[in-house]
Amino acid sequence: MSAKLPPNMLLKYIFSRVGSRDPSVIVGPSIGEDAAIIDIGGGRVLAVHADPITGAVEHIGWLSVHIACNDIAVRGARPKWLVPVILLPQSAGDKLVDEISRQMDEAANEVGAMIVGGHTEFTLGLSRPIISVTAIGVADKSRIVVTSGARVGDAVIMTKTVGVEGTAILSTDFRDVLRGLGVSEDVLKRGREFIKKVSIVKEALALAEAGLATSMHDPTEGGLVGGLAEIAYASRKTIEIWEDRVPIAAETRIIASALKIDPLKLIGSGSLVATIPEDRVSKAIEILRALGVEATVIGRVLDASDSYVVIHKRGGGIEKVTDVYIRDEIYTVWERLQGK
């Protein structure tokens, strides 16, 4: 299964080889940053991001749009234009193409973006579809938010619950396995409905427009823990959280328990993670709740120490996260259960 390249490989082979450098690029390739930011003049910037969907099948079109748009919105930019690359197994027919394009159209309409180009092909050797979407948005230069902006003393808040995207994927693509492990049909049905919660565009834009967040991040691979580690790495800080403060939906908890995986490390799009100055937390939560989005304070930002994330475990122990990239639990499930 896929996983991000390790930091040392990125630094050696990727970030050092970017072609002709352009001074209008405010934020370019770097670990933990969600999207490039390019100054286009007149006090405006472009936010540009590409993201592949490789760990889902049934909802791949829907996810491909929303996941890419989430990474634009956490910059404080509204997603406007989408350029997808759709790679299909050679066995794919009209039904799959129809389903993917319908999902992408519905998702694009939901966030107010347009698909303006891209590429499609039948690809030799693929067993399931892969979609990578490049999303582009526009924002005022004065209100952009970067992942690296977390400050010592900031509170760490998260919206909704952990593992939103992962719960939807597992409930859909592994429903037969989960039934066999004793998960009820009612739980699986509710879990599949989590797919409608994966967008964080409205809440990210609301915090950016209010100027409340010092940093924002969409916790994709590695879930909440992975997202926090990337904020800490980019900001050169340590983030401390308390496990018993982290909201976990009943469906996620049941599915994670059945599969023996950690819900805090399950792919987490649908939950916005933000760092907020302590004296502005109440205002941030008020704004989010006015949108119908629950938010929870789960931790705080500290000076850098010997780890990126310190987790105070529910049972009283402490887990220290020293790697910036966390292996997502969904890949563990794919490897363990694929074909069952």
SS (H, E, C) 240-255: EEEHHHCCCCHHHHHH
Q: How many domains, the chain?
A: 2
Is 41 among the domain residues? yes
What pLDDT, in 10s, does the model give residues 65-109?
Answer: 999 999 999 999 999 999 999 999 999 999 999 999 999 999 999
Is 6 among the domain residues? no
pLDDT attached to residue 338: 64
Is 11 among the domain residues? no
Closest CA to 272 of 71, 110, 44: 71
Closest CA to 231 of 245, 246, 219: 219
- Decide which of 143, 159, 193 is a domain's last residue: 143
- Decide which of 143, 167, 189 is a domain's last residue: 143
- Decide which of 97, 123, 143 is a domain's last residue: 143
52 Cβ contact list (under 8 Å, min separation 6):
2, 130, 131, 132
6 torsion bin: left (phi>0), alpha (psi -120 to 50), beta (else) = beta
Is 5 among the domain residues? no
115 lies in the same domain as 30: yes
Is 236 among the domain residues? yes
Give the pTM.
Answer: 0.93
154 lies in the same domain as 267: yes
176 lies in the same domain as 201: yes
188 lies in the same domain as 92: no
212 lies in the same domain as 108: no
- Domain membership of residue 112 as a residue range: 18-143
54 lies in the same domain as 173: no
- Whether the pLDDT of residue 54 is over 90: the answer is no
Distance CA 85, CA 49 (A): 13
pLDDT attached to residue 143: 92
138 lies in the same domain as 168: no
Q: Average pLDDT over the chain, rounded to whole?
A: 94
Least confident span in 43-47, 56-60, 260-264 = 56-60
What pLDDT, in 10s, does the model give residues 200-235?
Answer: 999 999 999 999 999 999 998 899 999 999 999 999
pLDDT attached to residue 183: 97
Is 10 among the domain residues? no
129 lies in the same domain as 230: no
Decide: 45 and 146 in contact? Cβ < 8 Å.
no
44 lies in the same domain as 129: yes
281 lies in the same domain as 330: yes
Is 13 among the domain residues? no
Task: Give the percent of the chain with pLDDT over 70.
Answer: 98
Write the CATH number for 103.
3.30.1330.10
What pLDDT, in 10s, does the model give residues 116-146?
Answer: 999 999 999 998 899 999 999 999 999 999 9
180 lies in the same domain as 312: yes
Is 1 among the domain residues? no
96 lies in the same domain as 244: no
Distance CA 242, CA 224 (A): 12
DSSP letter for each residue of 259-292: HT--GGGS--TT--EEEE-GGGHHHHHHHHHHTT
Write the CATH number for 266.
3.90.650.10
